[in-house]
Structures are given as structure tokens and as C-alpha cells.
Amino acid sequence: MSSFDTQLLLIALASVLVLVALIVSRIRLHPLLALLVVSIGVGFATGMAPGEIVKNLTNGAGKTLGAVGVVIALGAMLGKILADSGTTERLASAILQRTSERMIPWAMTLVAFVIGIPMFFEVGLVVMLPLIFSVARKLESSLKTLRRAPCLTGKNPPKKNRSLGKPDFARPAIGAEAPGRG
């Protein structure tokens, strides 16, 4: 590798980092999406075929993040969108208006169960956290009374484990006791 090649690689690396930083700070795109956009752009800039770009992205992201990593990242984005749009604040207000303080842990448990039906445990947890923080902020209390609610997202019927092809019965055992207890 010549010194020219090294300089070219360092310039390309600096360009990619600056481009990702600009996309995240100016366009306000999520960092994961910014990385994907820049990766696709670099693929086209180097003359790769579109099919090869997709294959390399899938292989690179698959090895780095794994199938669950992408799902968790997308769930985190959804949770952030819900928090930024004020949806979690409105949900928290609705829950607090319609339930007594004694029943709030049960109401949050029901919400966690409903959210957990279509989602994997990890995604349900990431989506539930902004709502839990909103409820705790409105209660002006600690998270102690709500700590078991997101655990129930994993108590729904098992979903197909993509990597093994078998049902995923290895659900977390936490949260089995009544929510809100000591």
C-alpha cells in the first residue's frame, strides 16, 4: 500500500465522518439511518452495482448488529418518535386520569402486555421506556412502582426465533410476580 493509497483512505474516512455528522446535525436524521445513507452513497461512489451494495450492507450490518440489533435500533427510533411527538405524554396523562394511584402499576402492566403482543421483548422494552419515564415524571415519584411493567412485554406467547427456527421459550422470568410489589 503506497502513501497515496493511505492518504486517499484517510480522506475518504474523514469525508464519511463529516457527512454522517452533517446528516445527523443538520437534517436531523437518526444516526443509524445516516450511516446507512452514507454507506449506500459510498457504494455508488465506488462504482458498485446496486445489488452488490445491498449484499454488502446486509453482510456488514448482519455481522455487526445481528438481526436483533436492527430490530432494537428501529424500536428505539419508534420510541424516540413517540416521545418527541408528545404521544407518550398524552398516554401518560390518559393513564393517570383514568386509574387510581394504587392501580397504576396494573394499568402499566396491561399497556406493556398489549405492546408486547406484536413485538419482541427487546423492542417492547425500548418502546415502553419513554412511556414509563413520562408516567413517573407526572407522578413525581421513583420508578420503583413501575419497574416490572416492561418485563411483561416478554410474557406473551412465544414468537418464532429467527436464528434457530424454533419457538423462543427462553423468555425472561422476571416480572412474574404482581406489579408494584416491593
> Tell me: the pLDDT tens digits for 84-118?
888 888 888 888 899 887 888 788 888 877 877 77
Cα angle 153, 157, 160 (rounded to 5 degrees) comes to: 100
**166 vs 42, residue with greater confidence:** 42
The residue range of the domain holding 125 is 67-154
Q: Are 23 and 95 contained in the same domain? A: no
Domain end position, chosen among 27, 45, 64:
64
Residue 36 lies in a domain: yes
- Assess whether 60 and 24 both reside in one domain: yes
Q: Are residues 123 and 93 in the same domain?
A: yes
pLDDT, residue 173, reads: 41
* pLDDT value at residue 79: 79
pLDDT in tens, 28-41: 888 888 888 998 98
Burial (CB count within 10 angstroms: exposed 0-12, middle 13-18, buried 19+), residue 105:
buried
Average pLDDT across the chain, whole number:
75
Q: What is the pTM of this model?
A: 0.45
Q: How many domains is the chain partitioned into structurally?
A: 2
Residue 84 and residue 23 share a domain: no
How much is the pLDDT for 165? 44
- The residue-averaged pLDDT of 119-146 equals 72
DSSP state of 27: I
- Residues 108, 29: one domain? no
Residue type, 152: L
Does 14 map to a domain?
yes
74 and 27 share one domain:
no
Indicate the helix (H) or strand (E) that contains 57.
helix 50-64
Q: Is residue 19 part of a domain?
A: yes
Share of the chain above pLDDT 70, in %: 72
